[in-house]
Amino acid sequence: MTFLTIALFILLLIMGIPISMVLGIITVIYFLLNGQALLLESTPLRMFSGLENFGLLAIPLFMLMGEIMNEGGITTRLVNFAKLLLGHFRGGLAYVTVVANMFLASILGSANAQAAMMSKVMVPQMEKEGYKREFAGAITLASSIIAPIIPPSMIFIIYGTLSSTSIGAMFMAGILPGILYGIAFILMIAYMGYKQGFPKSERASFREIVRGTIKMLPALLIPLTVVVGILTGVFTATESAAIACLLAIIVGSVIYRELDFKKFPKMLINTVTNTATVTFLIIMANIFGWMIAFEQIPQLLADLILNITESPWVFLLLVNVLLLIVGMLLDGIAALVILVPVFMPLVQALQIDPVHFGVLICINLTLGLLTPPVGTGLFIVSSMAEVKFETLVKAVFPFIIVSIVVLMIITYIPQLVLFIPDALGF
């Protein structure tokens, strides 16, 4: 029966049925085929119990914060500030794309949302100044993966909830890896710019830089408040999301005066729709995980891997390879909610820090946005930037290699992840 269930799972995915529906359908079919129909009576309770976690409240709040900051002109000012600082270097607009994504990562926390927005903002501008459109799309897509790493991060919230790991610690753990990815992409651009002769724009005057800095400071107040508030213990990661929403409203409406309150219904609808998509996936994955636990798959996998190796380093290498493959086939959040309950017993058995492992699994699955055949980021940028899918895949390949190299560095130098959380007592 187990093999039949796996075959049905693969078939439904190939048919293009949404992963959240597949998880629920497969769970029901499994219980019926195995004569466990009585378990279906407890299924609704099991579904809703998966949402009984205070940390999940941060997801709609951070989504709303991103909507408010976009409508309030905050994101535009952050991009303009990056251009003032870096636009005059050779390949300056490519640097601007990376740095702007690092700024926006603290606002949106979603790689897909960031890739879509930056494709509309940066790709036409880069093409106008002489960059190839496929390269502009590639660097926009590649640097968007920084969004789920630099706090606040929706995928970190979900991992923290599933693994009972401190969300605040996860937020702090993402800072250095996010910066490291930004530096790695900038070095790659510098090399490519030297080889291909990228264009550069005029240097901004000192007065323009000062003026841009002053305009940008209120926008930085929001992510700084989130980070400082969590560090000082003034509020939790979830409470920080509510504070950030309030600050975004004040900055957008009072300081920048671009936030139109008539657009609030649309922003709320977008927030509710996106939140419903994520939470429905979580509850479906929760009952799917229940089925996996019923079959004792985590224990079987743990025994299998422990028979192969008892080295945490070899285990992490195997997990990296597995997750890179899974990320090519499944949406990152879906894979996360399925795999975390499976891996956590092994993480505990091998005494691997759950924060370090959480950052690795989240980065791994985020890289799936860049890789065919299911890389959603590829489809988004291909559509938004009007670049052929095959051409975009070829252009983004060097950045995939760089991303994997950085992933390996983070894997085997855990202090790059744990230094800030440990220093702050998490």
Q: What is the pLDDT of residues 48-69, one digit of tens each?
A: 766 666 666 777 877 787 778 7
pLDDT band at residue 108 under the 50/70/90 scheme: low
Q: Do 6 and 13 touch, CB atoms closer than 8 A?
A: no
Residue 191 has a CB neighbour count (10 Å cut-off) of 13
pLDDT band at residue 180 under the 50/70/90 scheme: very high
Residue 55 and residue 75 share a domain: yes
Domain range for 29 is 1-41
Distance CA 410, CA 175 (A): 12
Residue 236 and residue 332 share a domain: yes
Predicted confidence (pLDDT) at residue 153 exceeds the cutoff of 80: no
What per-residue confidence (pLDDT) applies to 176?
Answer: 92
**Closest by alpha carbon to 418, among 360, 332, 341, 367?**
360
Predicted confidence (pLDDT) at residue 380 exceeds the cutoff of 80: no
> What are the pLDDT digits (tens) for 344-370?
888 888 889 999 999 999 888 888 777
What per-residue confidence (pLDDT) applies to 210?
Answer: 82
Structure tokens, 282: 């979580």
What per-residue confidence (pLDDT) applies to 331?
Answer: 67
Distance CA 326, CA 263 (A): 39
pLDDT band at residue 2 under the 50/70/90 scheme: low
What per-residue confidence (pLDDT) applies to 144?
Answer: 81
pLDDT band at residue 109 under the 50/70/90 scheme: low
What per-residue confidence (pLDDT) applies to 404?
Answer: 92
Residue 372 and residue 400 share a domain: yes
Phi, psi (5° rounding) for residue 402? -60, -40
Would you report the helix, strand and coil content of the chain in percent, each value rounded to 5?
80, 0, 20
Instruction: Give the C-alpha distances (Å, rounded to integers) separating 116 from 14, 121, 207.
Output: 25, 9, 32
What per-residue confidence (pLDDT) applies to 31?
Answer: 80
Structure tokens, 87: 């636009």
What per-residue confidence (pLDDT) applies to 52?
Answer: 67
- Which helix (DSSP H) or strand (DSSP E) does residue 54 occupy? none
Residue 156 and residue 33 share a domain: no
285 vs 11, higher pLDDT: 11
- Which helix (DSSP H) or strand (DSSP E) does residue 171 occupy? helix 167-173
200 vs 158, higher pLDDT: 158
**Closest by alpha carbon to 230, among 220, 242, 218?**
242
Residue 92 and residue 76 share a domain: yes
| Strand, coil or helix: 147 | coil
Residue 232 has a CB neighbour count (10 Å cut-off) of 9
Structure tokens, 307: 């028979």
27 vs 41, higher pLDDT: 27
Predicted confidence (pLDDT) at residue 9 exceeds the cutoff of 90: no
Within 8 A by CB and 6+ apart from 211, the residues are none
Residue 121 and residue 4 share a domain: no
Type of residue at 242: A
Residue 68 and residue 30 share a domain: no
Within 8 A by CB and 6+ apart from 311, the residues are none
- What length is written for the chain? 426
Q: Do 157 and 404 touch, CB atoms closer than 8 A?
A: no
Residue 102 and residue 218 share a domain: yes
Residue 89 and residue 21 share a domain: no
pLDDT band at residue 214 under the 50/70/90 scheme: confident
Residue 146 and residue 36 share a domain: no
What per-residue confidence (pLDDT) applies to 410?
Answer: 94
pLDDT band at residue 418 under the 50/70/90 scheme: very high
> What are the pLDDT digits (tens) for 253-280?
888 888 888 888 888 888 888 778 777 7
Q: Do 396 and 192 touch, CB atoms closer than 8 A?
A: no
> What are the pLDDT digits (tens) for 286-340?
777 777 767 766 566 667 777 777 788 888 988 888 888 777 766 677 778 778 8
Q: Do 108 and 114 touch, CB atoms closer than 8 A?
A: yes
Predicted confidence (pLDDT) at residue 189 exceeds the cutoff of 70: yes
Count the domains in the chain. 2
Mean residue pLDDT across the chain: 79
Within 8 A by CB and 6+ apart from 68, the residues are 245, 248, 249, 252, 259, 267
393-402 mean pLDDT:
88
Residue 286 and residue 147 share a domain: yes
Distance CA 145, CA 367 (A): 7
Instruction: Give the C-alpha distances (Å, rounded to integers) separating 393 from 123, 183, 261, 348, 372.
Output: 16, 22, 40, 37, 8
Residue 131 and residue 37 share a domain: no
What per-residue confidence (pLDDT) applies to 141?
Answer: 84
Q: Please give the share of the chain, as a percent, with pLDDT higher than 70.
A: 85
What per-residue confidence (pLDDT) applies to 375?
Answer: 66
93-108 mean pLDDT:
74
What per-residue confidence (pLDDT) applies to 130?
Answer: 79
107 vs 203, higher pLDDT: 203
Conformational region of residue 91, where left means phi above 0, alpha means psi within -120 to 50, and beta covers everything else:
left
Q: Any alpha helices (H) in 87-147, and if so which ranges? A: 92-105, 111-128, 133-144
